[in-house]
Structure 1
Amino acid sequence: MPIATVNPATGETLKTYEAMGEEEIERRLQLAEATFRTYRTTSFDERSALLRRAAGLLDEDNESIAQVMTTEMGKPVKQARAEAAKCAKAMRWYADRAAGLLADEEPDASDVRDSGAKRVVVRYRPLGPVLAVMPWNFPLWQVVRFAAPALMAGNVGLLKHASNVPQTALYLEDLFHRAGFTEGCFQTLLIGSGAVDEILRDDRVKAATLTGSEPAGRAVASTAGEMIKKTVLELGGSDPYVVMPSADLDRAAEVAVTARVQNNGQSCIAAKRFIVHTDVYDAFAERFTAGMKALKVGDPMEEETEVGPLASEQGRRDLEELVDDAVRAGAEVLCGGERPEGPGWYYPPTVLSGIDREMRIHREEAFGPVATLYRAADLDEAVLIANDTPFGLSSNVWTRDEAEVDRFARDLEAGGVFLNGMTASHPAFPFGGVKRSGYGRELSGHGIREFCNITTVWQGA
């Protein structure tokens, strides 16, 4: 894929970039290694002042960077503004809390005495340059939720961003530089995916984090495993959205629409499979389908637009194939399901019912505004359907029955269980998945410690 900004609302190529050559990559690796030697010794106060400055600059740039994101990947501009604001919030959260999250820990005194030591301290030390391979769907947030904790921990970052969001990628490097971070603290590598393997094998790169597709995750994990390097992977998701009889149906259906079409439906944590108890299935399906039909699809730069184009022509083609396969196998289209005429990579909000296990859309992630409806006879079947997926990123459950709350929280195979609300990430809470959705955690104290050398310092009498 060329490194280029292609407006998904029109299909027009606006700007192209040359991939960095070997000499420039080498220069940047050398710079990262050299910068880390000194940056690792800076204090939390110094780092937090820099990160707060970056947050302030990002707030000032909110409108301009929102328009860049919308131009590059098609999200409604209102959502792009919210994404930029969320990034500034996360920067400030880590700037305020990193010192406490990574403070030295002293084990229980009795255990220290039992070990024969006078004192034992557990310290969190940075690893070094970390390679971040990031996707296009949240082109600012996905990077910042890695960069903010990594920089506060004393690491330095090397960003390989998706090839269709180069302007956002370059903006991030410039943002941290303008904030006062030394040049080598955060660098954008304008490279294709084929260059990732060699960089990851370089001894100067100490770890990697990837958010993206399952094949990309396998490739990075394989190389990192061979090189014995730490990785964090956040891959695909096909999150269940379970509705039980005690739920507030009007609210559950209203939130379900947003949960499915946020970011034009291109979100790993978007609800995709709607599993509804048979007692309320018809009522929910009617409300949900009506809500999906009512969405305004259009130019993502317009304020009233709720669903913009998909980010790429291939992405729309992949989504169409999943829908067409399901329809051929007997699924019923309750709304949408047909590509509109005209320019841009638009696809209408779509609801399918009558899904069975043999359909591709049951097994694969639908990355776009397409929802699948399932009827569950009881709680046990709802759990069974929810877990019948290779993914396990997050989940949503609507019920006011406390016994059901406990059961779903215990039995759903996912990195998150959101009750009577939709999945969302927040800097204070760990984020990540199980099964083929990846491993490791981002955000919170768990996320900042992922790329730390947890060091036991034992001191004898």
Structure 2
Amino acid sequence: MTQISTINPATDAKIADYDVMTRDAAFAKVQSCHDAFTEWRQKSHAERAPYLTAIAEKLRENSDALAEMMTKEMGKLLRDGKTEVELCARIFEYTAENGPDALADEERTHSGGKKRGVVTYSPIGVIYSIQPWNFPIYQPVRVLAANLMAGNGVILKHASICTGSGLFLERICREAGLPEGLFEVLIVDHDTSDEIIAHELVRGVTMTGSDGAGRHIGTVATKNLKKSVLELGSNDAYLVLEDADIELAVKTCVQGRLYNNGETCVSAKRFVVTEAVYDAFLDAFVEQMKAIRMGDPSNEKTQLGPLSSKDQFDTVSEQVEKSVKAGAKVLCGGEAPDQTGQYYPATVLADCKPGMPAYDDEIFGPVAAVIKAKDDADAMRIANDSRYGLGGGIFSKDEDKALALARDHFDTGMVRINSFGAADPNMPFGGVKDSGYGREHGGFGMKEFVNAKAIYLPS
């Protein structure tokens, strides 16, 4: 039987082995999820809510163990893992509190307003959730909470390197009282995964990952006439305008680039700085990046842990090397220490131009690409000069100006002004262009996989 192994990227030691499921075993999980769905869908939204609240409670009870598991499997700082668990608990609570109203029947009229109509948001069935490793609990939870409230069942294919985290989440849900089968975790290869997308009982597919993987998943889903939601990463630009508070911008941009070891789809990755403040920003930014303490992710004093795997380390290293060969200048970092573990230092690349990975692509690690702009208008142009469009940021003392730029010109799904953050349960999350389509959070995710059913009454 084929197995996969999870490896601790801080020590390169094996954590555990897991058997890969056969096609028949995986299909049996799909069937059990559908069977559970047929009963779950009969509950009202208000009846579903307590299950979500109970899961939130169980998550908090297991916070330390979950954080430790994430740290071992993908190198996340231990304190960041605890923050992630708390966010997941809040997502379940937000969904339990707001779901019944967000998904309630809507009264409409038809026939010129003379007759009554009703719009219902009906569950559709089994949703297939394909998730990455960078937030091992949060990524599955943002799909799971929304779809449980909507009345659907969920099957999860997690990234192989965090298999233990996915199974831990499944166990927590069952201990919280979620009906057996309603949330199932699959350990399958890519070929079986494609067959699951095509399975007649699977009604929707949601995936977070690279744009290359998203194209494949989206193609398979479309071929089988399945709706999909894709969140495909980004190369987010953070603009430092002529009137920016440089001290705030530098501090926030360091945080935004290194959060979660730089492995976040909405990390600050490209720093587009106007000529008027370029030198002041760059000097302070490099100084703070140089001072970052890299080391054991379980140590409270550590600011930067390892990359998630040897594959990820090799990818980041290659992207930096190609950028440097194309003319980028290394101002700090850029060379990994000779030590055990997949450690890559905080790195700043200047003189980044089109044609370089640092300019064109997503570097999923602690590497900052700094780009000089002539002025504010040029900075906005450079920010939008990307195939991606997930998030971004603007630093300016004029909040109204920043708001206008964000609303009218920034071609992304999310924009931060004078701040950095990853996600909030009450705000939509998602992107445009090659960053994918569809939205999660903020009530939007609860309506992605429902049947907006029009009911016409005769009077």
Q: Same fold (TM over 0.5)?
A: yes
TM-score range normalised by the length of the shorter chain: over 0.9
Q: CA deviation at 1:249?
A: 0.9
Question: Which residue of 1 is the match for residue 441 of structure 2?
Answer: 443
Q: CA deviation at 1:116?
A: 5.3
State whether structure 2 residue 350 is matched by structure 1 residue 389.
no
Question: Which residue of 2 is the match for residue 266 of structure 1?
Answer: 263
Tell me if structure 2 keeps the 8 A contact 1:394–1:423: no
CA RMSD of aligned residues (A): 1.2
Structure 1: state its 5+ residue gaps: none
Whole-angstrom distance in 1 between the partners of 2:11 and 2:415: 38
- Of stretches 138-147 and 328-337 in structure 1, the one that deviates more from structure 2 is 328-337
Say which of 308, 323, 328 aligns to 1:326: 323
SS at match of 2:202: coil
SS at match of 2:303: coil
Tell me if structure 2 keeps the 8 A contact 1:396–1:423: no
Tell me if structure 2 keeps the 8 A contact 1:4–1:165: no
Question: Which residue of 2 is the match for residue 362 of structure 1?
Answer: 359
The equivalences for 1:295-310 within 5 A come to 295-310=292-307
Whole-angstrom distance in 1 between the partners of 2:155 and 2:51: 18
State whether structure 2 residue 119 is matched by structure 1 residue 122.
yes
Question: Which residue of 2 is the match for residue 282 of structure 1?
Answer: 279
The equivalences for 1:78-157 within 5 A come to 78-107=79-108, 111-114=109-112, 117=115, 119-157=116-154
Tell me if structure 1 keeps the 8 A contact 2:36–2:179: yes
Whole-angstrom distance in 2 between the partners of 1:219 and 1:46: 37
Whole-angstrom distance in 1 between the partners of 2:405 and 2:87: 32
Whole-angstrom distance in 1 between the partners of 2:393 and 2:436: 19
The one-letter code matched in structure 1 to 2:452 is: I
Whole-angstrom distance in 1 between the partners of 2:111 and 2:195: 47
Question: Which residue of 1 is the match for residue 221 of structure 2?
Answer: 224
Q: CA deviation at 1:404?
A: 4.5
1:182-240 CA deviation, whole Å, 9 max, x = no partner? 11110000112232110000010000100011121111110111111111000021000
Whole-angstrom distance in 2 between the partners of 1:8 and 1:186: 28
The one-letter code matched in structure 2 to 1:77 is: L
The one-letter code matched in structure 2 to 1:310 is: L
SS at match of 2:181: helix
SS at match of 1:274: strand
TM-aligned CA distance change 1:297 to 1:2, over 3 Å:
farther
TM-aligned CA distance change 1:428 to 1:352, over 3 Å:
same
State whether structure 2 residue 354 is matched by structure 1 residue 353.
no
SS at match of 1:334: strand
Question: Which residue of 2 is the match for residue 62 of structure 1?
Answer: 63
The equivalences for 1:158-169 within 5 A come to 158-169=155-166
State whether structure 2 residue 156 is matched by structure 1 residue 197.
no
SS at match of 1:254: helix
Q: CA deviation at 1:147?
A: 0.4
Tell me if structure 2 keeps the 8 A contact 1:233–1:440: yes
Q: CA deviation at 1:115?
A: 5.9
Say which of 167, 170, 173 aligns to 1:173: 170
Tell me if structure 1 keeps the 8 A contact 2:23–2:192: no
Whole-angstrom distance in 2 between the partners of 1:229 and 1:248: 47
Whole-angstrom distance in 2 between the partners of 1:214 and 1:407: 26
Aligned sequence identity (%): 40
Tell me if structure 1 keeps the 8 A contact 2:357–2:363: no
Say which of 394, 403, 406 aligns to 1:405: 403
State whether structure 2 residue 15 is matched by structure 1 residue 17.
no
1:36-64 CA deviation, whole Å, 9 max, x = no partner? 11110112232111111111011010001
- Equivalenced residue count is 457
Calculate the TM-score normalised by the size of structure 1: 0.97
Question: Which residue of 1 is the match for residue 239 of structure 2?
Answer: 242
1:350-382 CA deviation, whole Å, 9 max, x = no partner? 001011112122111101000010111112210
SS at match of 1:392: coil
Whole-angstrom distance in 2 between the partners of 1:19 and 1:121: 46
Whole-angstrom distance in 2 between the partners of 1:214 and 1:316: 19
SS at match of 2:269: strand
| Stretches of 4+ aligned residues off by more than 3 angstroms | none
Q: CA deviation at 1:22?
A: 2.4
Q: CA deviation at 1:2?
A: 5.5
SS at match of 1:416: coil
Whole-angstrom distance in 2 between the partners of 1:437 and 1:378: 27
Whole-angstrom distance in 2 between the partners of 1:237 and 1:214: 9
1:5-30 CA deviation, whole Å, 9 max, x = no partner? 20000111121101111232122121
SS at match of 1:151: helix
Structure 2: state its 5+ residue gaps: none
Question: Which residue of 2 is the match for residue 51 of structure 1?
Answer: 52
